[in-house]
Amino acid sequence: MIKIGQYNNLKVAKIVDFGLYLDGGEAGEILLPARYIDEMPEPGDEMNVFIYKDSEDRLIATTERPFATVGEFAFLQVNEVNKIGAFMEWGLPKDLLVPYSEQKAKMKQGGIYLVYLYLDDATKRIVASAKIDKFLGNKIPRYAHGEKVKALVYSHNELGYKCVVDNLFHGLIYQNETFRPVELGVELDAYVKRVREDGKIDLTISPMTTVRVERLAADILEKLRDNNGKLPVSDHSPAELIQELFQCSKKDFKKAIGQLYKQQLITIEPDHIVLVAGE
């Protein structure tokens, strides 16, 4: 069974002058227009295509990649606003509709908004909603401490950065956990600190301690080698200097240089660290 709004692997049923038809099973044959075909396949070959409905309500296939698929969140720009709703650019010829009923505030042409893509129950057309809360937290989060997730950053307040976690849950990266710049609209790797009772997830953008310190130690060694074996920073240095050089906390820095010292890779002086000769 085909999935509208998703990528499908379908076999070529027949080739025609204006493209080819793919075997959609119960949905029948689905047209892949010639403009989306770089190299003509043979009947029976399998192709990976995105399926959606065209302006005449027919199923259509494309090899182009939209900015998001059904079940995903994305920041998209409004191309046009009319009496039906807002139409957003999403990487395909037919713009994506956000009905007025699915807008938190009236969208404006040229504006960029976070939306969720879903299939309209009645028409089976792909539409979008800016009312994101109703699509988040509808399942029970089952993450382990330290588990890696994808976090789409969409808002900032005094506590930190609000995120969509794995297209399913609310997440928050606390302000004091950001030792490197965080940009709105960017999807980044994050790590689970805690799943709260309300189902929301506290995140950090640094791996959990052991992995984080090991990566930091490797980074320190690399910087030492790039700077003739000496860096003007030590365990007594201000936290601001450490963060500027390594985008980490002073606590993690002290653990990392302590690890390198025990491995006899560096020596630690009051105001600098030195790479041991031969390393």
Alpha-carbon span 56 to 30, nearest angstrom: 14
**Whole-number mean pLDDT of the chain?**
92
Task: Decide: 80 and 15 in contact? Cβ < 8 Å.
Answer: no
The domain 209-275 is placed in CATH, from the list 3.40.50.1950, 3.90.1150.10, 3.40.630.40, 1.10.10.10, at: 1.10.10.10
For 19-36, write each residue's pLDDT tens digit: 999 999 999 999 999 999
State the pLDDT at residue 55: 82
Say what the pTM is: 0.74
CATH number for region 73-134: 2.40.50.140
For 77-122, write each residue's pLDDT tens digit: 999 999 999 999 999 989 999 999 999 999 999 999 999 999 999 8
CATH number for region 148-204: 2.40.50.140
Same-fold call for 7-62 versus 148-204: yes
pLDDT for 176 beyond 90: no
Where exactly are the structural domains of the chain? 7-62, 73-134, 148-204, 209-275
CATH number for region 7-62: 2.40.50.140
State the pLDDT at residue 209: 64
